[in-house]
Amino acid sequence: MRIERDTMGEIEVPDEALWGAQTQRAIANFPVSGTTLPPPLVIALAQIKEACALANKTTGALEPDLADAIANAARQVQTGDYSAHFPLDVFQTGSGTSTNMNMNEVLARLATQALSRPVHPNDHVNASQSSNDVFPSAIHLAAHNELQARLRPAFRELVHTLDTKAVEFTQIVKSGRTHLMDATPVTLGQEFSGYAQQIRRAWQRIDSVQSRLTELPLGGTAVGTGVNTTSAFRRAVYDHLPGMTEAENHFEAHGARDSLVELSGQLRAAAVSLYKIANDIRWMGSGPRAGLREIRIPDLQPGSSIMPGKVNPVICESVRQVCAQVIGNDATIAFAGSQGDFELNTMLPVIAHNLLESIHLLTTVTTLFATKCISGIEPDEETLRSYAEGSPSVVTPLNRYLGYEEAAAIAKQALAESRSIRDVVIARGHVDRGTITLAQLDEALDVLAMTRPPA
């Protein structure tokens, strides 16, 4: 152990630790969950620190060699090699001050080692900054990074996979379903085209938040007034954060986290879409005897510890659980977002944790869904067509010939007697009376034609 000092006095710190006194106090104060803040946030915070060091070099607030040493240390942290030196619990001080100081202390120690002279975590690393503008800026930057680098490609892959299946299944007719009851026919391809569009729209909604997500409170320091910084710093720091812009109004940007709440809401909407798709596929693959058995989902693992040969739709189940978690995360974020008291929201770490977890979970499970489930789906064409042709709802096109009430009577008779609609229409004498011709009857009961609206 070694002795470190801060404004509260001396404290012992493990000799191998890069952090200092304030981090050590936070370790002692917050042994809550055992869950640390996610690596993308630590990386984004290091990116902010690098930008601040370089801006301070530009403005003369820091000597060039000192600023470069801090910036180099921040780049080292961005590699992820120092993750063990960021041990603080998610459920810490609500402003994220503990994690900001954790970063300041680690960078100060790395810079000190590089320069062989003292670098101070507050006076140097934290120059022109406050936890109150740096930490929320890091959340915004981390979310932006993860959306663009990970979630967007994952969604694109799922859309491509669904589109491919939509084309593959273009001619495969099946019974539509409303209220879980038979409805007029659709094609399997039409259903999959709808799924692809859901994911396209999901990304469009998420992407629509970007202009607000990339607007940062950085430069407003403690309460939005920019105390202890300069307009020159604010101009310079954004030169080192491509794609990020300074808040239009620092008091909104400090006191509220509305754009993060908005983003979480769009992630929740994406989860709702994914849930619907996974649930439909789970239903269509149900069986193999007592379910719908319309499609075959790839077999991935034994489904029961007691029932030999049982196989379950495990990827669909994983997707549905992720969706439940994302919806729950959104509830937490929405409540935490409401806790902006005057010039600061003091639930920033839990917002960061839940938001980045939602992005991570949606990214990973979407990729699994595309590669391990959707891409391997095979239709049972015989079952699909038999359901479509056997559905009483195929009587619907006969309305214009026989009327709604007679068509309903035909459907009920066909169902009760386990006969086809065609047989019942003929048996009731409609062809003999000339109400409808055989050609008209066969054309009206063409289930594939029913899936395409008239030109």
Q: Taking a C-beta distance cutoff of 8 angstroms, is the pair 21, 122 a contact?
A: no
pLDDT at 78 over 90: yes
CA pair distance 6, 31, nearest whole angstrom? 21
Using pLDDT thresholds of 50, 70 and 90, give the confidence band for residue 107: very high
- Residue 453 confidence class, pLDDT cut points 50, 70, 90: confident
CA distance 395 to 413: 11
Inform me whether the pLDDT recorded for 455 exceeds 80.
no
Sign of CA dihedral 50, 52, 56, 58: positive
Percent of the chain predicted with pLDDT > 70: 100
Confidence band for 356, pLDDT divided at 50, 70 and 90 = very high
In angstroms, rounded to a whole number, what is the distance separating the alpha carbons of residues 280 and 269? Answer: 17
For position 378, what pLDDT does the model report?
98
Mean per-residue pLDDT, 342-359: 98
pLDDT at 338 over 90: yes
Q: How far is CA 156 from CA 27, 161, 170, 397, 427, in A?
A: 41, 9, 21, 38, 53
Q: What is the mean pLDDT of the chain?
A: 97
Whether the predicted pLDDT of 346 surpasses 80: yes
- C-alpha separations of 172 from 88, 138, 228, 322 in Å: 55, 49, 68, 31
- Mean pLDDT across the stretch 280-285? 98
pLDDT greater than 80 at residue 223: yes
Cα-based distances in Å from 294 to 174, 287, 302, 330, 369: 8, 9, 21, 34, 19
Residue (of 194, 308, 189, 208) closest to 259 by Cα position: 208
The pLDDT score that the predictor gives to residue 454 is: 75
pLDDT at position 140 is 98
> Which CA distances in Å does 426 have to 385, 414, 421, 438?
22, 12, 9, 9
- CB count within 10 Å of CB 279 equals 16
Residue 136: per-residue pLDDT: 98
Point out the residues that are catalytic: 179, 304
Q: 399-436 pLDDT, tens per residue? A: 999 999 999 999 999 999 999 999 999 999 999 999 99
367-401 pLDDT, tens digit each: 999 999 999 999 999 999 999 999 999 999 999 99
Q: Has residue 307 got a pLDDT over 90?
A: yes
Confidence at residue 162, expressed as pLDDT on a 0 to 100 scale: 98
Mean pLDDT of 54-64: 98
